[in-house]
Amino acid sequence: MPLVTPLSAEHDLETKELAEFFNETLGFCPNSVLTMQRRPAISKAFINLNKAVMANEGRVTSALKRLIAWVSSNATGCRYCQAHAIRAAERYGAEQAQLDNVWEYRTHDAFSDAERAALDFSLAASMVPNAVDAKIKAALYAHWNEGEIVEMLGVISLFGYLNRWNDSMGTILEVDAIESGDQYLGKHGFEVGKHE
């Protein structure tokens, strides 16, 4: 049972209109947003931040941003965000081999060295204590410019918020997200856990 019950999508019409963004991303409005709207200023600010962070500005593709989100969410253990991130990666065109082998991104040939550097950054930045060091920086700068690194850290930071929000709330995981989690993460023991 969630800590706070999500409200109807009709509760705040401004949030509902902004949340149409998630119909493209996930195919539904997340229960996390439906809970945030108990304080509409939070739900609206969150959606606008999400839209800004996830905007496709160039080489850090929408699919890669979602894989960065998955690595971050996996590091923190949030099953809700893991399922959402892998579902969104699929919807934004991540290659099938990447979806099937995201756990092995460091060694699987479906991932380029640039993608590995981005995903290693996500893992290091999501750890407590933070593990971003000179080696991570050098790998990033070998493949990415400073604007692209800012985009990546925007995703990691956004999911830091979401991981804390959804694991603390015990947000109920939506059926479509469960299906994506089972499909791509099930072979490594994906479970809904507290999010049922």
**Segment 25-63, tens digit of pLDDT:** 999 999 999 999 999 999 999 999 999 999 998 899 999
Rounded to two decimals, what is the model's pTM?
0.96
pLDDT at 106: 97
What's the distance, CA 100 to chain centroid? 17
Q: How many CA atoms lie within 13 A of 193 on its CB side?
A: 19
**Segment 78-109, tens digit of pLDDT:** 999 999 999 999 999 999 999 999 999 999 99
Q: Decide: 83 and 185 in contact? Cβ < 8 Å.
A: yes
- Band of the pLDDT at 181, cuts 50, 70, 90? very high
pLDDT at 189: 86
Q: Decide: 101 and 187 in contact? Cβ < 8 Å.
A: no
pLDDT at 192: 93
Q: Decide: 181 and 82 in contact? Cβ < 8 Å.
A: yes
| 129 contacts: CB under 8 Å, gap ≥ 6 | none
SS3 15: helix
pLDDT > 90? residue 187 = no
Q: Dig out the tokens for 181 from the structure.
A: 């989690």
pLDDT at 1: 83
Phi, psi of 182 (to 5 degrees): -60, -45
Residue whose token pair is 């023991």: 189
Burial of 108 (0-12, 13-18, 19+ CB in 10 A): middle
For residues 179 and 63, what is the distance between their CA atoms, to the nearest angstrom?
18
**Segment 108-149, tens digit of pLDDT:** 999 999 999 999 999 999 999 999 999 999 999 999 999 999
Query: Which architecture does CATH list for 61-190?
Result: Up-down Bundle (1.20)
SS3 174: coil
**Segment 145-176, tens digit of pLDDT:** 999 999 999 999 999 999 999 999 999 999 99
For residues 45 and 26, what is the distance between their CA atoms, to the nearest angstrom?
19
Q: First and final CA of the chain: distance in angstroms?
A: 7
| 49 contacts: CB under 8 Å, gap ≥ 6 | 158
pLDDT > 90? residue 188 = no
